Structure 1
Amino acid sequence: MTFWTDPDFFLEKWFIHLLAGIGIPAGIAQAIGYALGAVILTTGALLFVLFLIWLERKLIGRVQDRFGPNRLGPWGIFQSIADMLKIFTKEYITPTGADKVPFNLAPILTVAAVLMVWAVIPLAVTVYGVDLNVGLLYVIAVGSLGEMGIILAGWGSNNKFALLGAFRAAAQLISYEVPLVLSLVIPVMLTGSLSMTRIVQNQSIWYVMYAPLAAFIFFITSIAEVGRAPFDLTEAESELVAGFNTEYSGLKFGMFYVADFLHSFTISMLVSIIFLGGWRGPGAETSPLLGFIYLTLKTSLVNFLIIIERASLPRFRIDQMMDFTWKVLTPVTLILLVITALLEKIFAMVGLYSWLRSGILFVLNIVLLFAADSVVRSHLARRPRPDVRGKERPVARPENFFSQPGSGA
């Protein structure tokens, strides 16, 4: 076993052998190795946020016909470092009357919820933290800690605007978890396992070919879970000052900021792992480095789409956002789940070839997508609202599902 074929196993054995040489038992050495690996992974992820912030600023600047950071260092690459140093040196302020325990615990929970997801992410064929047989369930469970952090931030701040932002977060994040979890049942059903590594290994054909609509729903609901545009009602600056984090300053505010960018990249990685084959690709079975490159390219593509969406789409109203999840995403996901389960049972009985099976499911998903879009445009378009004199004021229907009233779309 060499470093290039199994770096995780090689480094573990090397570290245990190193500590055994100074008299430390193998069990304790292994525990120290796990702790050290967790520290390295979390530190690397947090430092990687500096690059993500710079990249997003540059991309959004180009989309909006601006330069973005371009003064501090070549192409502005040191701007994020300057911002980090500024946040570290700013004063910590705790509002009068704030509940200090939830107020100070909230930013820690928000960051920890994202970092804990990385423990089960397979970065390559032999590189992962732990292979849990309920890995996907673990991802959903620890992701809820981020929602708890947002609610604690609003409740502990002793500020009505922050509390209102937290209430909106409770409505938005919990509501969008329903179609998110339902969409994940489909790849679990195709794999027969909740293990993240098994999900990747079983994708000789990417699951996006079996269930493109499920992948699209998971992508959309994940963005809503992060609270990014156009679903950023949890911190709508125009009406809530800053939302749940209004009273935070210094490093505490920076932790919310870090969690936002890191969570965005993490959901991009989850989309790549669950629906785009993860590290799979030519030669990835024997080369962990090549598999890591494949995963990085797929994740970067998904993250690019999230950034472009943030730069391009206007914000939803709160009623539109709730209508979208309860009247569109949840029913469509339930229908897709039932039909996919029935077809998978029929395919198993007749022994249908995998490519033909994926083709049938792909066509079914596309048909259901267009049917859902037709229903939305026919029945859920914006209705006329009465004016102050009680007369109905006609409002033009949007041209398509994603058009926003007043956006010019």
Structure 2
Amino acid sequence: MNTFILALMAALALLGFASLFAGLTSVVERKIAGRMQSRVGPNYVFAKGFGQFLADGLKILQKEDIIPRGADRLLFRLAPYLVFTGMFLSFLLLPFASGLVAADFDAGILFLLSFSSLNVVGIVMSGWASNNKWSLIGGMRSAAQMISYEIPAALAILCVVLLSGSLSLQSIITAQGPWPHQWYLMSDPVSFFILFIALLAEGNRAPFDLPEAESELVSGFNTEYSGFRFLFFFFAEWANLYIISAVLVSLFLGGWNSPVSIELNTGLSLQAMLGFERGRILSFELTGLALFFLKVTTLTFFIIQLRWTLPRFRIDQLLTLCWKGLIPLAFVNMLFLMTRQLFSEDALFPIITTVVFSMAAAAYLIRILWSFYAVRARPDVNFFP
């Protein structure tokens, strides 16, 4: 009984944290967007607008719950809960500190990939069940996009597994060490950028937000949703932003590992209050938690600014980047890492080859992206007859 109560309390605590993070991030993004577009953004509701998400939530809950005529009522109702379930199960696997993780599985990476696929099923289900052509197009776009980018994401994560020798997120964090030169970002930067792009695409973040492109599809797969069902989609979208950042931080940026000694003023005071061993452990956990959240928040701000900087890709450009760019590069990167391991005894060889290979990979991706935006002459069209 005690175990069940503790598990329930942990689940409720995670749900509360996810809700608070999603709400505050939505306000922060609107403020950043306003600043980048030379406008104010939300600034009225409580503490310079940071209570706006509470007002938005209360307003949405008061909206009428409408099911379109001709919709598949069962699937229409089930879709937002499926998306929410995939998001929440992913939260259970994220390590906030060395001893602060709800579910630490030995194969946590595999569970994380499995849970993320529930979002695809929920979004496609919502598009199909809505009896709306815009929703259906958004759902099909999401299926093509998320299934395609699962491949480079899995290959990039597999490279991290090769380096760490473990499928556990906690073991991967521990294997990196606390200092930046020990992070996998330094030893395998190509996998970091492949996974970064793939997770943005899987999370429908700009410039990969084609499933809900407002200028083309009204609101995409969630066009027909209102009230609390729309709130589930809204909530999952912003909570997934934390999941994207937390996965990248855990796999490539050292996670909760802290280079700062735990013998700080906080640690000493905790040791005096709780005893040496308990105070030392608690101060270590708090230091790791603060550092992990700082890394996640910094990466989240970068992703938000990226949304309001880059234009949206077309669907053909999106799939070209995946199938002709990221997937071949991920396979070549894996072969490179396995080859590099054979010469790991030489101190300089891994560093030099990593720098050269990373520069070549960057040039390859820039060439593909340049082809998307390059203006080509069309001799077959006379623009000035």
8 Å Cα contact 2:317/2:372 also seen in 1: no
Query: What does the per-residue CA deviation read over 1:61-117, in whole Å, with 9 as the maximum and x for residues that have no partner?
Result: 111111111112221122111101001111000011111121111111111111111
Pairwise CA distance, 1:44: 2.3
Aligned 1:97-246 pairs, distance under 5 A: 97-204=70-177, 205-246=182-223
Aligned 1:7-406 pairs, distance under 5 A: 28-204=1-177, 205-281=182-258, 282-283=260-261, 286=281, 287-347=284-344, 351-352=345-346, 356=348, 359-360=351-352, 362-373=354-365, 375-376=367-368, 384=376, 391-392=380-381
Pairwise CA distance, 1:206: 0.4
User: What percentage of residue pairs aligned between the two structures are identical?
Assistant: 38
Q: Return the alpha-carbon distance in structure 2 between the equivalents of residues 118 and 276 of structure 1.
A: 18
8 Å Cα contact 2:155/2:331 also seen in 1: yes
The answer for unaligned runs of 5 or more in structure 1 is 1-27, 395-409
Pairwise CA distance, 1:362: 3.4
Query: What does the per-residue CA deviation read over 1:285-326, in whole Å, with 9 as the maximum and x for residues that have no partner?
Result: 951000001101110111011000011111111111111111
Report the more deviating stretch, 91-100 or 279-288.
279-288
Secondary structure (helix, strand or coil) at the match of 2:31 reads: helix
8 Å Cα contact 2:343/2:350 also seen in 1: no
Residue identity in the other structure for 1:102: L
Q: Return the alpha-carbon distance in structure 1 between the equivalents of residues 195 and 364 of structure 2.
A: 16
Residue identity in the other structure for 2:101: Y
8 Å Cα contact 1:385/1:393 also seen in 2: no
**Paired residue for 2:273?**
none
8 Å Cα contact 2:159/2:337 also seen in 1: yes
Aligned length: 359
- Distance of aligned partners of 1:130 and 1:373 in 2 relative to their CA distance in 1, 3 Å threshold: closer
Q: Return the alpha-carbon distance in structure 1 between the equivalents of residues 355 and 244 of structure 2.
A: 26
- Distance of aligned partners of 1:278 and 1:384 in 2 relative to their CA distance in 1, 3 Å threshold: same
Query: What does the per-residue CA deviation read over 1:107-149, in whole Å, with 9 as the maximum and x for residues that have no partner?
Result: 1111111111121211111111122111011111000000111
Q: Return the alpha-carbon distance in structure 2 between the equivalents of residues 393 and 214 of structure 1.
A: 45
Q: Return the alpha-carbon distance in structure 2 between the equivalents of residues 178 and 36 of structure 1.
A: 35
Q: Return the alpha-carbon distance in structure 1 between the equivalents of residues 371 and 11 of structure 2.
A: 50
**Paired residue for 1:5?**
none
TM-score, length-normalised on structure 1?
0.83
RMSD: 2.1
- Distance of aligned partners of 1:238 and 1:361 in 2 relative to their CA distance in 1, 3 Å threshold: same
TM-score, length-normalised on structure 2?
0.88
Secondary structure (helix, strand or coil) at the match of 1:312 reads: coil
